[in-house]
Structure 1
């Protein structure tokens, strides 16, 4: 599968990642599934809801981590996006988030929390500047595999 998106989608996610730095940002990807392609129609930025209560539900090693290393999408934000997608005849096709001062590669926590068939677009942000980005999808063994990203319009500098 490939994830198709427009340059403005990428720019919106990059701006969100830079604004949230040094914390992780997160959001939802609404779009269509046709054959072997996912086409992004809309990006829904959400607030990173990671907090002490969420952290306490994870292993002790996770509970010490903050928004600089973890993200969480609230059930309210997820349900609102699903409702909106349904009303617009779209699907939630994925999630994006940033990795401040780390590569755009999924962490073990990302893998444990991931849902199959979703695209997981990760943006690296170093010293406040968005850089590399990659999309990932779980395979049948629950391991992340790289997913091609096709930018329909070139990103202007």
Structure 2
């Protein structure tokens, strides 16, 4: 299950709409308690994919390290990743699944004509994605 602070979700939605028609991306900062990941903040990262920003995202290692440092400053950790799918559904692609890690939440936002129309969260379990419940708080 993913719990996410409303302000963090709004930041992610704004970023996805701003970056359309390209995939946007970033990291989810929060805490893990058992099988519940609670997100308190979203750390925006540039999409550094050199060739296919419209249908692939890539987070640079140095941006990941910056997010880890920011999380540590607040007593948090990286608990997941978010990215958008411009003009495609909010479900993971094969590419997404191949690059995912167990223990993280993956929010995918479907953006149509510059507006987020839906979003879902996914977790990798036994090398396959399964949808997880999202609870927005605060």
TM-score (norm 2): 0.96
1:70 paired with 2:56, answer yes
Q: C-alpha deviations, 1:99-152, integer Å up to 9, x for none? A: 000000000000011111110000000011111100000002x00000110011
Q: Which residue of 2 aligns with 1:5?
A: 4
> 1: CA distance between counterparts of 2:34 and 2:10?
26
How many pairs are equivalent?
138
User: Which protein has the larger Cα radius of gyration, Structure 1 or Structure 2?
Assistant: 1
Match of 1:125 among 108, 111, 114: 111
Q: Return 5+ residue gaps in structure 1 as ranges.
A: 53-65
Structure having the higher strand fraction is 2
Q: Return 5+ residue gaps in structure 2 as ranges.
A: none
Q: Segments of 4+ in structure 1 off by > 3 A?
A: none
> 2: CA distance between counterparts of 1:131 and 1:8?
18
Match of 1:99 among 80, 85, 89: 85
State the SS of the aligned residue for 2:98.
Answer: helix
User: 1:19, CA displacement in angstroms?
Assistant: 0.4
> 2: CA distance between counterparts of 1:88 and 1:19?
27
TM-score (norm 1): 0.85
